Amino acid sequence: AQSVTQLDSQVPVFEEAPVELRCNYSSSVSVYLFWYVQYPNQGLQLLLKYLSGSTLVKGINGFEAEFNKSQTSFHLRKPSVHISDTAEYFCAGRSSNTGKLIFGQGTTLQVKP
């Protein structure tokens, strides 16, 4: 089955600490991978995407993600989080068959002072 799995539903972290949000994808999902962020009461905003090339992708707001083909992972990282990073984060991948986006279940990042 085509799937994108986010391994943590909630990640609490203190301000200025590093964070990693984990995402794994099935082999039937193409290697077009995305991270979206949803701030409270807002729509989805693209953080970063991997299409090809360098496996380390840098996005907005200091986030980066690393594509790891052997582990079928695309984990999102930030070395030092801010209170304003509190949001829900979605990993997504393009289906190899249909081209549509398949979303993970979402991870709520809670940054505490």
Partner 1 sequence: EAQVTQNPRYLITVTGKKLTVTCSQNMNHEYMSWYRQDPGLGLRQIYYSMNVEVTDKGDVPEGYKVSRKEKRNFPLILESPSPNQTSLYFCASSTQGANTIYFGEGSWLTVV
Interface positions with partner 1 (CB under 8 A): 4, 6, 9, 32, 34, 36, 41-46, 49, 51, 90, 92, 94, 99-101, 103-106
H helix or E strand, kind and range, residue 7: none
How far is residue 93's CA from residue 89's CA, in Å, rounded to a whole number? Answer: 14
Residue 99, C-beta contacts closer than 8 angstroms, at least 6 positions apart: none
Please say whether the beta carbons of 93 and 63 come within 8 A. no
Instruction: Name which of 99 and 113 has its Cβ closer to partner 1.
Output: 99
Instruction: Name which of 41 and 54 has its Cβ closer to partner 1.
Output: 41
For the bound state, the minimum distance from the C-beta of residue 75 to partner 1, rounded and expressed in Å, comes to: 17
Instruction: Name which of 78 and 93 has its Cβ closer to partner 1.
Output: 93
Instruction: Name which of 43 and 113 has its Cβ closer to partner 1.
Output: 43
For the bound state, the minimum distance from the C-beta of residue 7 to partner 1, rounded and expressed in Å, comes to: 13
